[in-house]
Structure 1
Amino acid sequence: MASDYGIFTIGDAMITLNPASTGPLRFVTHFERKAGGAELNFAIACARLNLHSKWVSRLGKDEFGRVIYQFAKGEGIDVTDVSYVEGFPTSLNVKEIRNDGSGKTFYYRFNSPILTLAPEDITENMFAGIHIVHLTGVFLALDKKNLEIAERVLSIAKARGIPVSFDPNIRLKLWTIEEARAAFHQIFPHTDILLAGRDEMKQLTGLGENEALARFAETYSISQLVIKDGEAGSALYHDHKWVHKEAFPVAPVDTVGAGDGFNAGYLYGYLHGFEPEKRLELANAVGALVTTVSGDNEGLPYLEEVLSFVNKETVIER
């Protein structure tokens, strides 16, 4: 059952085709169909943590669009503001896995349905019952116009006193690092909670050490700078001090979706008034559990699984 806390996110979703065999795609004849995408994964993660999860998007009026819509609805996501559009096929990515375990992903999303979304489509009533607005760099990367949409979202959030969280989630297949920097520097001043990887911050700003990152947070008045640090755990800069929490030791199978899950875990802790160290612990736990299962969102855990894992009540057998 969803809690009283609502989270808003906006962005594209994709059908993922996973090969049933290894080797070049031209020799692969069977695929497994899945649904994913950064914002959809985040929305699923929130819903599984019993948060009211609202996702705003556009899908192609096609069979793949219907698959994603029904999948999201089945996960308990609020899809009131997800609609179908004609003439824009649902985004698709196809994975290729070589015999040595390496792989590539081929994206087919340059005519994505999300491109039909306009700033005027973002209305005040979308934010009723919302306590956090969460944006990602993936949405911004898909089209320059999306920055205008993000600014509209930020404007409404500010007027309503809703905190904003942002994950840069850099995708250099979609734009250049220079384009990303230019867009993000328009988002940072409106960001209350920045959730980013340490390497990502270094790539964006040239800053990787805690002292420099603290100055960055102070410059943009970011009240919570959350650094995802992989096997080193995570860290939070808040109230002029750093808090660190070590990672949970797990045997990773697939890291896709771990960052999205981490974000949901941290925001759950924040909304429920957890102390900084406890927020990081919960976020680390969600991220760790995600990596123990193969797939874009199959490993996103339910709240009871996370709490049991954190409290060491069970051994995770996934």
Structure 2
Amino acid sequence: MPKEFGVLTIGDAMITMNPKTTGPLRYVDQFERKVGGAEMNFAIGCARLGLKSRWISRLGKDEFGKVIYNFARGEGIDVSAVEFIEGIPTSLNFKEIHASGAGKTYYYRNPSPIVELKEEDISEEMLDGIDVVHLTGVYLAIAEKNLLIAQKIIKLAKQKGILISFDPNIRLKLWSIEKARQAYETVFPEVDILLTGLDEIQMISGKQTIEELVEYVENFGIRDFVIKDGEKGSKLFRSGRWTESPGFAVTPIDTVGAGDGFDAGYIYGILNELNEEDLLRFANGVGALVTTVTGDNEGLPYLEEVQDFVSNKKVVER
């Protein structure tokens, strides 16, 4: 029987209001209620790929909080470390989508219920059965104390030999690049897998050329330096060499969540010991499929769908 791999992530989740029409938000008057959030998307992506997915969070004790909780459970996510909080409403965001598939997000999450999560709430038992802990810069940006909580999780994970993956996922609406850089460079020495966009790592490091970026990342001892570059594909620097994989030709409808999907695909590939080329191709495939469906996580594919897509297998529809 194949081994069941476990992943753990921590972060906010939100009710996402998806516009029914494209264009500036001021002209949109109809929305669909969905569930979103970077860490939530990652947890769903992992669960759909067959990984055991555990999520640490706090939700408002309100109807929207119940929607998110039930949705996560329905996706097979372990919500044993999720609690409801009185007095702080569940976070919201409204999406603006342009005809090209690009867009903006407007957040209503200050304060977020997750600010009630405390360092003492994190226990060693939360990491039982976990093979990878995935953290993002979004969680770190919500409150200053979240860095201490993340550090506690990292410490417990390292004691158990658990890999740490990190996606900066910069949100400059939540904090400045200076504060972000300080927090990231605090956790980087413990990170095994860095999953970032080219513009993000350039912004964080203050470096521009690939050579400078490699030197910056190597100074922290990061094993896998992964650059996500959207439709152009991705590249991985490991053991002194680059591996590149082109993107897939799809028509994007909504690009939100594609990076989270890539992360889930990459972690699946790491745990299943795919070689570098197959690892990137698989992760690219997950990210590409996400863009073909409107919504933060509606397009996150199941394992068989990704396998068929990346192998160009024709699907019999009728």
Residue matched to 1:133: 133
Cα 1:282–1:187 change in 2 (3 A) is same
Aligned partner of 2:109: which letter?
R
Distance 1:46 1:201 in 2: 24
Distance 2:98 2:196 in 1: 30
Report deviation, 1:27. Answer: 6.5
**Count of residues in Structure 1 that have an aligned counterpart in Structure 2:** 316
Report deviation, 1:79. Answer: 0.6
- Greater mean alpha carbon deviation, residues 230-239 or residues 100-109: 100-109
Q: Secondary structure at the match of 1:178?
A: helix
Q: Secondary structure at the match of 1:34?
A: strand
Cα 1:263–1:23 change in 2 (3 A) is closer
Matched, 1:57 2:51: no
Which residues of structure 2 form unaligned runs of 5+? none
Cα 1:291–1:19 change in 2 (3 A) is closer
Contact 1:198 1:208 in 2 (8 A): no
With structure 2 as the length reference, what TM-score do the two structures score?
0.94
Residue matched to 2:249: 249
Q: What is the root-mean-square deviation of aligned Cα atoms in Å? A: 2.1
Residue matched to 1:171: 171
Distance 1:312 1:261 in 2: 19
Cα 1:278–1:115 change in 2 (3 A) is same
Contact 1:61 1:86 in 2 (8 A): yes
Matches within 5 A, 1:80-159: 80-96=80-96, 104-159=104-159
Contact 1:194 1:222 in 2 (8 A): yes
Cα 1:274–1:104 change in 2 (3 A) is closer
Which residues of structure 1 form unaligned runs of 5+? none
Aligned partner of 1:157: which letter?
A
Q: Secondary structure at the match of 1:226?
A: strand
With structure 1 as the length reference, what TM-score do the two structures score?
0.94
Contact 1:309 1:315 in 2 (8 A): no
Residue matched to 1:303: 303
Distance 1:315 1:23 in 2: 34
Report deviation, 1:249. Answer: 1.3
Aligned partner of 2:314: which letter?
T
Cα 1:150–1:313 change in 2 (3 A) is same
1:17-46, CA deviations, whole angstroms, 9 ceiling, x for partnerless residues? Answer: 123356776665532100000000000000
Residue matched to 2:6: 6
- Greater mean alpha carbon deviation, residues 308-317 or residues 168-177: 308-317
Task: Give percent identity, aligned residues only.
Answer: 59
Distance 2:212 2:104 in 1: 34
Aligned partner of 1:18: which letter?
N
Contact 1:3 1:52 in 2 (8 A): no
Q: Secondary structure at the match of 1:106?
A: strand
Contact 2:193 2:222 in 1 (8 A): yes
Contact 1:122 1:153 in 2 (8 A): yes
Distance 1:218 1:11 in 2: 27
Report deviation, 1:98. Answer: 7.7
Residue matched to 1:189: 189
Distance 1:178 1:274 in 2: 36
Contact 2:44 2:72 in 1 (8 A): yes
Matches within 5 A, 1:287-298: 287-298=287-298
Report deviation, 1:210. Answer: 2.6
Q: Secondary structure at the match of 1:278?
A: helix
Residue matched to 2:41: 41
Contact 2:205 2:213 in 1 (8 A): no
Q: Secondary structure at the match of 2:78?
A: coil
Cα 1:19–1:291 change in 2 (3 A) is closer
Q: Which aligned segments of 4 or more residues in structure 1 are displaced greater than 4 angstroms?
A: 21-29, 96-104
Q: Secondary structure at the match of 1:286?
A: helix
Distance 2:243 2:9 in 1: 27
Cα 1:115–1:316 change in 2 (3 A) is farther
Distance 2:175 2:137 in 1: 10
Report deviation, 1:95. Answer: 3.0
- Greater mean alpha carbon deviation, residues 243-252 or residues 127-136: 243-252
Residue matched to 1:160: 160
Distance 2:171 2:288 in 1: 22
Contact 2:102 2:255 in 1 (8 A): no
Aligned partner of 1:250: which letter?
V
Report deviation, 1:158. Answer: 1.0
1:122-149, CA deviations, whole angstroms, 9 ceiling, x for partnerless residues? Answer: 1000000000000000000000010010
